[in-house]
Chain A
Amino acid sequence: MSSFRLRARYPGFALDAEASWEEPCTALFGASGSGKSTVLESLAGLRREVSGEIVLAGRRVDALPPHRRGTGWVPQDAALFPHLCVRGNLEFAARRVHEQRALKDAIAALEIDGLLERRADELSGGERQRVAIARALASRPRVLLLDEPLASIDRPLRARLLPFLERLPERTGVPVFLVTHDPLEVLALAQEVLVIESGRIVQQGAPRSVFASAATFGALPTLGAENRFEVRVVARAAGTLEVETRGGSRLSMVRVEGFPDPEAVAVRGEDVMLAERDPGRVSAQNVFAADVLAVEPLGEQLLVDFAPVGAADERWRVKITPRARAVLSVEPGRRLVLLVKAHAILPCGRD
């Protein structure tokens, strides 16, 4: 049995989260910025400003320093030691004799025996994640804390990594607590889910029942989307629907015959394209200029905050790769053009 009660104040954000869980694989689910990584890092003992009680696998740990908590924390970017090879990374974690067995088991469980002599920068994203998880397991943790284990990995690779994660608690006997913004990951991996919103745990239960209502309405893909706007319908055409957000943005979305008008729309951060200038004729129905407000790291990827030119109070959060950032020199103050397909504007109910 594990539990936490955490409190912290940040500028513009307050964490006030409380939950307890027992399942061998439990997920903390929420959108970017909901506070889920903060919770995970607090459990690992890395957030001194967060106060509260933490019990992990039956042991009270909040008074302990990070190296005595027994948490196998795997951050989003894997954070392998760049100066050591894979073997060196694993041996750093398993230096005591009784951990050698855990090391062998971890290498077997994650199927990384072929990678042992490689350096961290010679590994693919999926390999890095597997090594990072094996490294955490080699330290014989009481609980494995995974931060978006699949978020910084391409979709085809995700499909390959998912089975490793699925079998993890069973193969290693170590309970897993993972953070994710993807409802499909929760459904695939977890027996229990905690839903976090703006620093509070708002729902808890079996993933199927928690997501049931959303699934019935086909809204599953909108859960955890970075962008959500209340809208009203302003025009209808064949196959498309024009809506206006409260902030004043006009958006074109796909009209599905026989469904009620949406009260809100959701857009996933990875479904928005950026361009240097208006590309002219383009299939994307929503093309508008916006100013970069902030760029923050999200694992190996980046999350960019935009304010549309005609709707300065509205915020669009867009996920991009570091390469895209370099190509477009995405820095605060820069004006870029956002492109969103009508198909990427997902209808959803009001919160």
Chain B
Amino acid sequence: MNASEVLDVTLLSLRVSLVATLGILVPGVALGYVFARLRFPGRALLKALVSLPMVLPPVATGFLLLVLLSRRSLAGAWLEELLGRNLVLTWWAAAIASAVMSFPLLVLGAEQGFASVPRRIEQVAATLGASPARVFLRVTMPLAARGILYGAVFAFARGLGEFGATTIVAGNLSGRTATLSIAIYDRIESYREAEAVLLSLVSLLVAFAITAAAEVFLRGRATR
């Protein structure tokens, strides 16, 4: 295994996780806002539904996704029609699996971010002549940013480590769908211990870099 292979696996992992996080950013933040601010019938049920991927065995989530994305399902057939190909066993499937698994973390972070914004501050902004949209963009969002960012970072990190659901829907196609965690598992299975160690160290490095960067960035925001 040469350096370019390691780099490929790492970049694929980062790409899968990044696409997954970006994909869930808008719906995740919106749902976080809804949970933090609105009381409506069925809220508890919806919250339970959103956090399902956290408690369901990842393999089960992966299998359900596989069924959903396969051309036998209505959604899968429609998606295949739309895109001209099936997503199963592509890196897009890995991204979708990551997105589903990371979604609860992002929603949770965003919800806490919005819940931490005092209503009084928003009310003052309104009495100063700011429209609801301006209050949201200039006051609510900046004050909730910390929670949203935390949610996004952990969603991204969770996506990087995703294994169970990803391996079911994306498989283990070297260079195409094999993310870091899948590649590590593959090397262990085939007794290539040195490569497994190397890839694990790369994972460690990437994970540490992300959490450290987030801490430094958030600290910077807090003291500005």
Contact = CB atoms under 8 A, between A and B. Distances in A.
Interface of A: 44-46, 65-73, 75, 77, 79, 81-83, 92-93, 135-136, 139
A81 B125 contact: yes
Interface stretch (B71-79, B104-112, B137-145): B137-145
Contacts, number: 58
Interface string B125-138: 11111111001001
A44 B127 contact: yes
26 contacts: A46-B123, A46-B126, A65-B126, A65-B132, A66-B123, A67-B126, A67-B127, A67-B128, A67-B129, A67-B130, A67-B131, A68-B129, A70-B129, A71-B127, A73-B124, A73-B127, A77-B120, A79-B121, A79-B124, A82-B121, A82-B143, A92-B128, A93-B128, A139-B127, A139-B128, A139-B129
Contacts of B42: none
Nearest to B145: A83
Contacts of A92: 125, 128, 130, 138
Nearest to A136: B128
Nearest to A135: B128
A48 to B, nearest CB: 12
Among A46, A67, A77, max chain B CB count under 10 A is at: A67
B118 interface: yes
Nearest to A74: B124
Contact of A83 (B128, B131, B143): B143
A44 B120 CA distance: 12
A46 B127 contact: yes
Contacts of B120: 75, 77, 79
Contact of A45 (B127, B132, B135, B142): B127
Contacts of B138: 92
A71 B126 CA distance: 10
Contacts of B124: 73, 75, 79, 81
Nearest to B126: A66
A72 B123 CA distance: 11
Interface string B72-95: 000000000000000000000000
B193 to A, nearest CB: 50
Interface in B111-168: 118, 120-121, 123-132, 135, 138-139, 142-143
- Residue of A44, A69, A71, A81 with highest tally of chain B CB at under 10 A: A81
B224 to A, nearest CB: 8
A71 B123 CA distance: 12
A69 B126 CA distance: 10
A79 B142 CA distance: 15
